[in-house]
A and B are shown apart, each in its own frame.
Chain A
Amino acid sequence: MFKLLAAALLLTAIVTAAVPAKNRVLVLLESPTLKQSHSIYLKSLEDRGFQVTLKRADDANLALIKFGEFVYDHLIVFAPGVNDFGGSLNVAEISNFIDRGGNVLVAGSSKLGDAIRELSTENGFEFDEEPTSVIDHHNYDATLDSGDHTTIIVDSKNLIKAKLITGNYASFGPILYRGISLISSASNKLKLDVLTGSTTAYSFTPKKAVNEYPAAIGRSTVLVGALQARNNARVVITGSIDMFSDEFINANVAKAGAKPTKAGNGEFVKALTKWVFQEVGVLRVKSVTHHKVGESKPPREYTITEDVEYAIEIEELREGKWVPYDAKDIQLEFVRIDPFVRTYLKGSNGKFKTVFKLPDVYGVFKFLVDYRRIGYTHLFDVQQVSVRPLVHTQYERFLRSAYPYYVSSISMMAGVFLFSFVFLYFREPTKVVTTTTTETKKIK
């Protein structure tokens, strides 16, 4: 009796809890002191329903993938100085983890180990050399800085304009940063520079006069870089582990002589982690339909210049639930190698539809929706259809140019019918014969 009740309660508890579906997080720490110095951040992860496993970076039992299955869904690396990971973990395994859809958040610092350098290079960002830091003599925090102007205040206007990744940047304060700079290259097409330094920042050895051109200067000092891979796995790399620390989250930032304001680190790292762990900005296709206008099921094949109606339903993941997506810039392409038609889809309540006329070209086409926006996963849907040319009975039947031919044939038929009457019933008129008078003359 009690066992049944307990089982029923457990079942309801599991079903009703709004826990994210993929919620196993592995956090690699460089030393156990990080548990205390980053307690606010780690606790916020657990509060959102994640199963957080804290391990040392050189723990001998580390494994992300066991027997081909994921042991964890997300990875946080808070071990900037590590040279080699422990257990079976290495940069190749983390790359494999990302290739199979896992999300990774990596934090560095001015003392960077080889493993972290290699990991970030694999993901398209390079760290500056040791022992450089990001320095900004114009924007440093007067209280927390140790004198070499490396604890810098970054205004929220240096954030990428994507609220999905950064949160509502207009509402939170400036961000504190202390660490090393990333360098991103323009050849990496999938990168996003989430947070950059301002024009006055640069990356160089602290307290040394700049005697050569720095590797990262001005706005090209990338402080937080992100990458959304083609399989929608997300990787965020940053050069400051202190950005996540309790000290910075609770701090009040103040430039020398200015009024202190609350640092925006708390909201920023929360929004950033939500994006990396795919809690926001995830889209999926619920259903796709296409048919001729006036019908409800697609035909076996379409014919050229027909009117076609296409509808796609798209859902977005918000707070663990799939809700209808709303946007005005989704486009449909009708492609046979090259697009013939590209129109915007009008949406209401997550259903986006359009009506258009098929081109007068026949072939094998596809209805293509390729939706890629900053912060969202890549939405790609293809429906292949055949478009055939006109059946021979679908052309114009009677042409004015052919009237002579019609008239010729009909007049011939009418003529024959009338001629049949004339031919059968015409009687030659009898000739008047003059020989009878000569005959009577003879008899007389």
Chain B
Amino acid sequence: MNLRLVITVSTLFVAAFAGQASSKQPAAATAKTHLIVEDVKLAVYQRSATPSHTPIKPNTKDNKLYDVDKQVKVQLMFNVKDEKSKESILVQQAFVAFVHKDSDREVLFVAEPEAGSKTYVAEMDMKAQEKNFDGLNGTYNVRLIVGDTNAANAIDWNLVDVKVTTSPFIAVPTKKSQIVNYDPLPEIKHLFREPEKRPSAVISDTFTILCMAPMLLLFIMWLQIGLNFNNVKISLWSLGFHSGLLAIFGLYFVFWLQLNMFETLKYLAVIAVPTFFCGNRLLRSLNESRRHTKTE
């Protein structure tokens, strides 16, 4: 009976242990490692020079702002260690992210372990990589991102800031038919043509006076040689003729102001016939009176 008891108890124990081994839950909880990143060395150096690494203490930030342009290579070396055993381990995710400070643009690099050792190296040759920055210069936060499914924690550590200057970025112009624009475009106000320059008023007025001059001269010379209206004969014909002549010139003036040729010709026909008739009579009467005085 003792043996049977021992056998039952031992089979129960074995079964319990077997069951425990096959159930993952409690085993997984204890197997998660706590990650730390140590032995971080950063080198920002000219392409032709040799790297000189500056160490960065864990969970601190190097306050120097490094200048990075296409002549520069950046090399970051680090070890990911288990906090308990202090051994270097390999993890699934080891990225170096350059995140622009003011916008949400970022460039990420993958750090790979050196052959043979478990030290991670991320080497960025800016000459080849600067096209990934799309011409966006400025301060970038350099963040080390480490994670693993077997780890209890994940690391997102801003190591240092760099000031990136890329060579001038020539954007490829898109075809006008393919542009999709979600913003309002700049306002356009039409620039009206300046009116042509006119000659100054002085010149026009001078010539206006010059054109009036002959008439003034006419009056002056008439007075000089002597005028008289002794032959005047106030009759119907003279009145008719002179008023008709005045009307014709008045019609010309009104034609200049607002009429068209058809209306003018119409009015002219109406005025011209009596004017001609009166003029004819007037001349006849003048001629008669002249013959009268001659024969006397």
Residues of A within 8 A of B (CB): 135-138, 147-149, 189-190, 199-200, 202, 206-214, 217-219, 256, 305, 329, 331, 339-344, 357, 359-360, 372-374, 399-405, 407-411, 413-417, 420-422, 424-427, 429
Contact B242 A147, beta carbon cutoff 8 Å: no
Interface residues on B, range: 35 or more
Q: A331-B184, A421-B229 are in contact. List 18 more A-B contacts (CB 8 A).
A: A137-B93, A137-B149, A138-B147, A138-B156, A199-B108, A200-B145, A207-B149, A209-B90, A209-B91, A214-B110, A360-B190, A400-B198, A404-B204, A411-B212, A414-B249, A424-B286, A426-B227, A429-B228
Contact of B110 among A213, A342, A407 (CB under 8 A): A213
Knowing A208-B92, A421-B242, the reply to whether A218 touches B106 (Cβ < 8 A) is yes
Question: Does B230 make an interface contact (CB < 8 A)?
Answer: yes
Residues of B within 8 A of A (CB): 28, 90-95, 97, 99, 104, 106, 108, 110, 112, 143, 145, 147-149, 151-152, 154, 156, 174, 178-182, 184-190, 192-193, 198-199, 201, 204-205, 207-208, 210-212, 214-215, 218, 222, 226-233, 238, 242, 245-246, 249, 252-253, 256, 282, 286
A114, B94: Cα distance in complex, Å:
32
Contact A415 B218, beta carbon cutoff 8 Å: yes
A212, B104: Cα distance in complex, Å:
24
Residues from chain B with Cβ under 8 Å of A411 in the complex: 211-212, 214-215
Contact B106 A199, beta carbon cutoff 8 Å: yes
Distance of B149 from chain A, by nearest CB (Å): 5
Residues from chain A with Cβ under 8 Å of B99 in the complex: 199
Distance of A61 from chain B, by nearest CB (Å): 39
A51, B244: Cα distance in complex, Å:
94
Q: Which of B28, B149, B192, B201 has the most chain A CB within a 10 Å cutoff? A: B149
Knowing A147-B149, A373-B182, A403-B205, the reply to whether A341 touches B154 (Cβ < 8 A) is no
Contact A342 B186, beta carbon cutoff 8 Å: yes
Q: Is the interface of B mostly helix, strand, loop or mixed?
A: mixed
A340, B192: Cα distance in complex, Å:
11
Could you list 11 A-B pairs, sorted by A, with CB under 8 Å?
A: A200-B95, A212-B110, A340-B190, A401-B199, A411-B212, A415-B218, A424-B286, A426-B228, A426-B229, A426-B230, A427-B228
Residues from chain B with Cβ under 8 Å of A211 in the complex: 112
Contact of B231 among A189, A344, A413, A424 (CB under 8 A): A424
A228, B245: Cα distance in complex, Å:
82
Residues from chain A with Cβ under 8 Å of B149 in the complex: 137, 147-149, 206-207
Chain B, Cβ-Cβ closest to A411: B215
Contact B249 A401, beta carbon cutoff 8 Å: no
Distance of B289 from chain A, by nearest CB (Å): 10
A148, B150: Cα distance in complex, Å:
8
Residues from chain B with Cβ under 8 Å of A136 in the complex: 147
Contact A217 B108, beta carbon cutoff 8 Å: yes
Residues from chain B with Cβ under 8 Å of A199 in the complex: 97, 99, 106, 108, 143, 145
Q: Which of A212, A331, A403 has the most chain B CB within a 10 Å cutoff? A: A403
Chain A, Cβ-Cβ closest to B241: A420
Contact A404 B95, beta carbon cutoff 8 Å: no
Distance of A83 from chain B, by nearest CB (Å): 30
Chain A, Cβ-Cβ closest to B232: A425
Contact A414 B215, beta carbon cutoff 8 Å: yes
A124, B276: Cα distance in complex, Å:
93
